[in-house]
Structure 1
Amino acid sequence: MARETGLKVEGLNRVVRDLQTLGLELEDLKTAFSNIARTGASVMARYVPARTGRLRGDVRGNRAKSKAVVAVGRSTIPYAGPIQWGWPARNIAPAGFFERTDAVMDDVAVRMLEDEINNQIRRKGLS
Structure 2
Amino acid sequence: MAGAGDFTTDGPVKIKVEGLRKTVRAMEAAGASSQDMKDLMHALGLIVVRAAQPRSPIISGRLSGSLRAGRGKTKAVVRAGGARAPYAGVIHYGWPARNIAAHPFLADALQATRSQIFSALNDGLGDLLKKHDLT
Cα shift readout 1:61-106 (whole Å, capped 9, x = no counterpart): 1233332211111133121111111112222110011221221232
Does 1:99 pair with 2:129?
A: no
Number of aligned residue pairs: give it.
122
Q: Is the 8 A contact 2:45 2:69 kept in 1?
A: yes
Specify the code of the residue in structure 2 equivalent to 1:84: H
2:74 counterpart (66, 78, 82): 66
Answer yes or no: is 1:52 the counterpart of 2:60.
yes
- Would you say the 8 A contact 2:36–2:128 is kept in 1? yes
For structure 2, list consecutive stretches of 5 or more residues without a partner in the other structure. Answer: 7-18
**Partner residue of 2:35?**
27
Percent identical pairs in the alignment equals 30
TM-score norm. by structure 2 comes to 0.77
Instruction: Flag structure 1 segments of 5+ consecutive residues without an equivalent.
Output: 1-5
Deviations 1:30-71 (A, max 9, x none): 221121122221111122111221111111112333322111
Match of 1:78 in 2: 86
Q: Is the 8 A contact 1:26 1:66 kept in 2?
A: no
